[in-house]
Amino acid sequence: MNPLSRIPERSGTAFTLRKGQFLVVIDPLGQQVADLVAFNAADTREAISSGRTLDYAERIYLSTGDTLYSNRSQAMLDIVEDSVGRHDFLLTPCSIDTFRHFYPDKPPHRGCFGNLTAALEPYGIQADQIPGAFNCFMNVPVDADTGKLRVLPPLSRAGDHVRFEAGMDLIIGLTACSAYDSNGGTFKPIDYRIE
């Protein structure tokens, strides 16, 4: 089994994931979000697509048995295990603009978007290519009548995980999210392992 890798708080990383390999994303301490984006390793114009995925799933809350699709409607990642059952695929990665919008009195941070941009740059992926992320463990309830969104602390507890199976050769970007509300007000690391 491959060793566990750790993404320090408020940072991100990128790596390749081959077709048929598994990616396990673990919340080691609990209540910490991890933003996940995926690109076709053979053509990075193909990327994970919230719109396609939610359209096909006919739901906004995804879990075991659901597939994350690309903008070209190909299966990129299957969720094969999920010990939490609540993730978000509506909201974009937090960014310096997010901090200016929601936290004008706090020091700005480049956020998941800046961390993903830096991590994916060596793979030739530009900032404008970064799609909406699958936000592991992010808890965004939606009011059934008004559609009003709230960002509440994650339901994940220490050691909770999601296991994905790659449907094609992928470049993955993964973060330990930097935003206050998404993570219950504190910033923790994220662990992952490729199997």
Residue selected from 179, 190, 191, 192 as contacting Zn ion according to rule CB under 5 A? 179
Question: Contact between 130 and Zn ion (CB under 5 A)?
Answer: no
Q: Assign 181 to helix, strand or coil.
A: helix
Q: Is the CB of 37 or the CB of 112 nearer to Zn ion? A: 112
Half-sphere exposure at residue 170, Cβ-oriented, CA atoms within 13 angstroms: 30
DSSP per-residue codes, 45-106 = EEEB-HHHHHHHHTSS---TT-EEEBTTS-EEEEEEEESS---B-SSPPP-HHHHHHH-TTS
For residue 177, the minimal CB distance to Zn ion (Å) is 3
For residue 181, the minimal CB distance to Zn ion (Å) is 10
Q: Is the CB of 36 or the CB of 68 nearer to Zn ion? A: 36
Size of the site for Zn ion (CB under 5 A): 4
Angle CA(35)–CA(39)–CA(43) in degrees, nearest 5?
Answer: 165
For residue 107, the minimal CB distance to Zn ion (Å) is 15
Binding to Zn ion by CB under 5 A, coded x per residue (else -) over 63-102, reads: -------------------------------x--------
Q: Assign 22 to helix, strand or coil.
A: strand
DSSP 8-class letter at 31? S
Distance, CA of 71 to CA of 152 (rounded, Å): 28
Binding to Zn ion by CB under 5 A, coded x per residue (else -) over 31-60, reads: ------------------------------
Residues that bind Zn ion (CB under 5 A): 94, 112, 177, 179
